[in-house]
Amino acid sequence: MRDFVDGTAFNFEQGQRSRKLFAAVVLAALDDAIADDKKYGNGPDQIARWARSRDGREVLSCAGIDPNERVVQGLMNFVAAGVRTSVALSREESERRSQAEAEAA
């Protein structure tokens, strides 16, 4: 019984690592689309095309993200905002946004 539990825990941990790896691929795709948007102006279209493609749906699924149309719209809105993923995920950016919301209210 102990071997079964250890094996299950190991497999779960490996699955979590795999999800994180695929999530990093999604973040890289977002950064590439933002760069395309700044350079060519077609970033939201690029990320939508990727997310709707077979490979994009597979990567999103492996990252634990349901590849539906609502997700595609969210990715497009994120790219249109033009904020790099490293900046958007930083503590300073979240504090700045919360301050701006507090000042607006």
pTM for the whole structure: 0.81
Q: CB–CB of 29/65 below 8 Å?
A: no
Cα–Cα distance, 26 to 47 (Å, whole number): 10
Q: What is the CB neighbour count within 10 angstroms for residue 99?
A: 10
pLDDT for 5-61, tens place per residue? Answer: 677 777 889 989 999 999 999 999 999 999 999 999 999 999 999 999 999 999 999
Q: What is the pLDDT of residues 47-67, one digit of tens each?
A: 999 999 999 999 999 999 999
**Residue 104: HSE in the Cβ half-sphere, 13 Å Cα cutoff:** 6
